[in-house]
Amino acid sequence: MPAPDEKLKTLIREAGKFLVTTHIHPDGDAAGSSTALALCLRKNNASVDLVLATEIGERFRFLFKGETVLSPEQMQTSYDAAFILDVGSEDRTGFHQKLRELNCPLINIDHHVTNEGFADYDILDPDASSTCELLYRLMQTFELPVDAEIACRLYVGILTDSRFFQNVNVRPETFQTARELLSTGLDHAAIVTHLTQSRSLSDLKVLGLGLSNCRTRANGKIIYTIYRNEDFLGLNAEDRHAWSAGIFSHLISLKSALVSASFIESDRGKTFCEFRSKSGFDVSVIAARFGGGGHRSASGCSVSRPVSEFSEEVLNLLESEVRQYLRGKPVDLDSGT
């Protein structure tokens, strides 16, 4: 982890009034890091507003228990600093222009390899398994309190963003962090049960539709699925259920797949795409081509374009990139081996 600025350490340690936010459609790392930091700062006698631009998915809502979440329209106009967590580019907050209008220091804590370094303080570690892992080390450095309540949230972020310790950026420090968080007395069994056995009926229906509609290209090296807005309406669900359904990890579990793409059409004129990969195929560069970003093995982007048009362009690009990636490797693209 890069050495934090002494001015930043003083700013945090002396408490004050802070804003904490993360990216739209918060995943486990975003939800875990934002709620953990909000709790930690309050236990250090600071005043904290947690502000999110989109609704919290059902899967991670338990992390926000007792928390008052404000919309960008409800936030105050004066803060000592704003923490932006797990965000590779500031537009991913969904209200970056309003953040800039606050005229307070922006503190960017993140582990995405595509992070643009947009803040006054950029604490970045692309080798970390998750923003929660990085945030825990920062809390230690600043001698901030980490009890079981805070540790639970950090642990969720590490588990989910590492795909339960399956990702390539899991390192010895990841397990050491998990060990130290477990030593606070958090309930590991309850957390894992909640993450793996508490999906809603809408989640399961959306997952089922995504799996039944999935298709492959490049002889199974690419697997993808497309959700249209009418699909969600037909299931009495919303596009947010695509993120909580688990479809992304299910698609990339196909034995032959090198990369998966999930296209999600929303009722707000946007099309989202979530990429997952394995064997070192870097999807962050694909996402970056469309204004997104993320990790080498998990990235995303969004555009204001029809899903049919956008998906075809992305899939054609993926085919080209997959062929380039496999060139010279002992894998025959056309044989499926």
Residue 203's nearest CA partner among 249, 166, 158, 271 is: 249
Residues 258-312: pLDDT tens digits?
A: 999 999 999 888 999 999 999 889 999 999 999 888 888 888 999 999 999 999 9
Residue 242's nearest CA partner among 193, 208, 289 is: 208
| pLDDT on residue 79 | 95
| pLDDT on residue 332 | 45
- In the DSSP assignment, the letter for residue 283 is -
- Give the span between the Cα atoms of 317 and 327, in whole angstroms: 15
User: Cα angle at 217 between 215 and 219, to 5 degrees?
Assistant: 115
- Give the span between the Cα atoms of 321 and 281, in whole angstroms: 9
Contact between 287 and 296 under an 8 Å Cβ cutoff? The reply is no
**Tokens 């990702």 correspond to what residue?**
167
The average confidence (pLDDT) of the chain is 91
On the question of pLDDT at 247 being above 90, the answer is yes
Beta strand spans in the chain (E): 17-21, 47-51, 69-70, 81-85, 106-110, 121-124, 215-217, 222-227, 259-265, 271-277, 293-294, 298-303
On the question of pLDDT at 71 being above 90, the answer is yes
Residue 80 carries which side chain, given as an amino acid letter? D
* Beta-bridge partners for 83: 20, 107
On the question of pLDDT at 337 being above 50, the answer is no
Beta strand spans in 155-243 (E): 215-217, 222-227
Q: Is the dihedral of CA 310, 130, 245, 64 positive or negative?
A: negative
Q: How far is CA 263 from CA 4, 169, 271, 329, in A?
A: 38, 25, 7, 29
| pLDDT on residue 328 | 64
- Give the span between the Cα atoms of 108 and 315, in whole angstroms: 32
| pLDDT on residue 109 | 96
Going by pLDDT thresholds of 50, 70 and 90, the confidence category of residue 56 is confident
| pLDDT on residue 25 | 85
Residues 177-215: pLDDT tens digits?
A: 999 999 999 999 999 999 988 889 999 999 999 999 999
Contact between 109 and 123 under an 8 Å Cβ cutoff? The reply is yes
Q: pTM of the predicted model, to two decimals?
A: 0.83
On the question of pLDDT at 86 being above 90, the answer is yes
Domains of the chain, start order: 6-196 (3.90.1640.10), 201-326 (3.10.310.30)
Residue 56's nearest CA partner among 230, 221, 243 is: 243
Residue 84 sits at φ, ψ, to 5 deg, of -115, 110
| pLDDT on residue 92 | 87
Contact between 99 and 84 under an 8 Å Cβ cutoff? The reply is yes
Contact between 105 and 81 under an 8 Å Cβ cutoff? The reply is yes
Residue 85's nearest CA partner among 16, 146, 174, 24 is: 24
Going by pLDDT thresholds of 50, 70 and 90, the confidence category of residue 336 is very low
Residues 120-176: pLDDT tens digits?
A: 999 999 999 999 999 999 999 988 989 999 999 999 999 999 989 988 789 999 999
User: How far out from the chain centre does Cα 218 lie?
Assistant: 28
